[in-house]
Amino acid sequence: MRKFYSLLALGLLASASSMAQNQGGPDAYGYTWKSNAAPGGPAYNWIDITGTGTTITALGDDNVIGPLNLGFSFRYYWTDITQIRIGSNGYVLMGTSGSIASQPTIGFPSIPTASNPNNVVAPYLTDLNFDEAPGAATNPGQAYFYTNNADSAIISFVNVPFWTAPADNVNEWSGSNTFQIIFSKADSSITFQYQSQSGNWNASYDASNNPLVIGMENITGGIGLQISNNMKPAPGTAYKFYYPDNVVYQVTDAAAVAIDNDANKGFFGVTNSNMPINTTVANVGNQDIAGPFNVRTTVRKASISGTATGAFLFDKTAPVSNLNQGDETNLVYTDMFLPPSPPVSNPNPSYIVSTALTLTGDQNPTNNTTTNELVILDTAGVNSVMLRYHDADPTLATGTGPGAFGFEGAGVYFEPPFYPVQINTLNFLLVAPANAVPANGYTAKIFLADANGNPAATPVFTQALTANDVLLTPGNAMGYNNIVPLAQPVSITSGGFYVTWEVSDLTGTQNVFLATDDTGPFSRQSYEILFGNFGEYRSGDIEDLFIGAEISLPGAVSAPNSLASFSIGDVYPNPAATVANVKLSLTQTADVTVKLTNITGQEVKQVNFGTRNAGESMVQVPVSELASGVYVMTFVAGNETVTRKLVITK
């Protein structure tokens, strides 16, 4: 499809490369390349892995799959690579993450470029498409991965077509491209081979600078070799990148890699409960670091604009004495972080955890700092909490997610800070034009994470919603909070889970969108779904999706087979001044009341909503007479209770 957004901040770089050349280099590190037409160049020798390799089933349009284990350590520039990610647009990320999509007039980034992601190996970086539009012909594109788990690995793209604008081709693809990448540990070489090619990129790229880029670059994006930026290799062509015989380029480079988890993605803590803070630093240069050098980690509250603000709530520095080439170390600070009681204005605040290292002579300071989002859950006086990474204020919502990019769906990964828990309700904030009528049906799902942290093949919860089930209040500028209760709660005893919102019918007009929060900090826990394939959300570095999951605290978890007859969604607005709105869901008729207690435990208000029929309805709790402060709302239906925290401001 045509793209107008990417994680990349693309720049214009001059290209002196030409397909007429048969060899090139060296770059600053010493790499050179030759084609099979050059004296001493590689022989073209296509290796068929369609019967021996693993089919990569999750590639779609503009997405990235991985990490995949190479099965051995591969020397690439001055780093040793053990994992890769494969991009649907004909490239491989060497141990890095992110995605590459095109931009109008530019096409794709030149190589090398400092814009993220870096460590790119690009045999055929262009707008390819593995997806199938609704009602379209079967897409023939396939991708395969093979490793002998010793010294060689191969990725093959087979019969993969170009993306084509719907106005030009109803299938949204045309042509065919078959090429492969070969990694050889024996000589640290990388070979590109091209078996067949037909058709052309979409006509919209004809005027762009870089419609098809071939080359490779290092982790800083400052060193690399570009073979071409605008031509398609002829069938039977091979290019080989040669590792330098004698490396004279010396690099001292320490990196702050991750906080709390290897993927450096958002995580949860609990108010007034000590939690360890750990960070990972690595030697990504080609020189041993004798040290010592200092690593400082801080925690500060996130402001409404997404920047760190206020006093340092945690500020510790630890020395690293020695870090040999290729090694990394995980620092667990002796002192723990004690999240304070939440402010009245935000009972579940986000914090920014930052790690920065100081190393004299570091040649790549751009990777000396990293940050992560920490969301603190206030469990005092309640029996359930809402897991979410987005801001609590729905007025910050903007529209994206399913529909805006043609996504089939989107989701968020959650890993609770305690167990066991039960998932009781799901929350989705939607944005739509005033008086919009949903044109499509939707489906809410829960997938448990497998042993590798990926979504399991089969969801443990599925709830189909017709267009009439979607809550849209005309003119509500804050978005529309849709609550999906689970008649049978899902129990979680370890690990995490994915919550997804999917469009059931992509053929209609997309006029209702999943909301996003673009104020930061960002969890990078969002995912996009294209034709059944999960991939990291392409805007995950600058947005969080408005998806939440209400979970019971461990002491409030019911028997596994008990039937939940009562659930409620988030209270909004929260903070409130005059009235608080709550969506109520009953599976059977019941009398419903709500009691409000202040922070001292004193009951200050009770509202009886009378007998409510089974189904969903909205209730309002007047609060204009109550003083500013934090209150606990206890909803009672029959013998069941559900609590929510409410902040009142005047």
Q: Mean pLDDT across the chain, nearest whole number? A: 85
Residue 203: DSSP 8-state: G
Percent of the residues in the chain that have a pLDDT greater than 70, as a whole number: 87
Judged against a pLDDT cut of 50, whether residue 405 lies above it is answered with no
Max mean pLDDT among 241-245, 300-304, 631-635 falls in 241-245
pLDDT of residue 5: 24
Q: Are 624 and 338 a contacting pair, CB within 8 Å?
A: no
Residue 174: DSSP 8-state: E
Q: Read off the pLDDT of residues 122-173 as tens digits, 9 standing for 90 and up.
A: 999 999 999 887 778 999 999 999 999 999 999 999 999 999 988 888 889 9
pLDDT-derived band of residue 112, with 50, 70 and 90 as boundaries? Answer: very high
pLDDT of residue 472: 61
Q: Read off the pLDDT of residues 330-377 as tens digits, 9 standing for 90 and up.
A: 999 989 999 988 765 666 789 999 999 999 999 888 889 999 999 999
What are the φ and ψ backbone dihedral angles of 468, each rounded to 5 degrees?
A: -75, -20
Q: Which domains does the chain have, with CATH numbers?
A: 23-242 (no CATH), 254-377 (2.60.40.10), 381-564 (2.60.120), 565-650 (2.60.40.2550)
Q: Read off the pLDDT of residues 387-404 as tens digits, 9 standing for 90 and up.
A: 999 876 655 555 544 444
pLDDT of residue 4: 24
Q: Read off the pLDDT of residues 577-614 as tens digits, 9 standing for 90 and up.
A: 888 888 888 888 888 889 887 765 577 899 988 888 88
pLDDT of residue 508: 59
pLDDT-derived band of residue 1, with 50, 70 and 90 as boundaries? Answer: very low
pLDDT of residue 416: 96
Q: Read off the pLDDT of residues 468-486 as tens digits, 9 standing for 90 and up.
A: 777 665 444 456 677 788 8
Q: Read off the pLDDT of residues 168-227 as tens digits, 9 standing for 90 and up.
A: 888 899 999 999 999 999 999 999 999 999 999 988 898 888 999 999 999 888 899 999
Judged against a pLDDT cut of 50, whether residue 464 lies above it is answered with yes
What are the φ and ψ backbone dihedral angles of 44, each rounded to 5 degrees?
A: -75, 120
pLDDT of residue 101: 86
Q: Are 423 and 549 a contacting pair, CB within 8 Å?
A: yes
> Max CA-CA distance within the chain?
88
Between residues 638 and 379, the one the model is more confident about = 379
pLDDT of residue 17: 42
Q: Read off the pLDDT of residues 511-568 as tens digits, 9 standing for 90 and up.
A: 777 888 888 899 999 988 876 778 788 778 888 998 999 898 886 655 443 334 677 7
Q: Are strands 461-465 and 409-414 parallel, antiparallel or unpaired?
A: unpaired
Residue 344: DSSP 8-state: T
pLDDT of residue 6: 25
Q: Are 121 and 521 a contacting pair, CB within 8 Å?
A: no
- Mean pLDDT on 287-303: 92
Q: Are strands 267-270 and 369-377 parallel, antiparallel or unpaired?
A: parallel
pLDDT of residue 425: 86
pLDDT of residue 562: 38
* Residue type (1 letter), 381: G
pLDDT of residue 525: 96
Q: Are 352 and 303 a contacting pair, CB within 8 Å?
A: no
Residue 382's DSSP bridge partners are: none
pLDDT of residue 622: 92
**Cα–Cα nearest to 111, from 253, 3, 206, 210:** 210
CA distance 225 to 190: 12
- Mean pLDDT on 44-65: 90
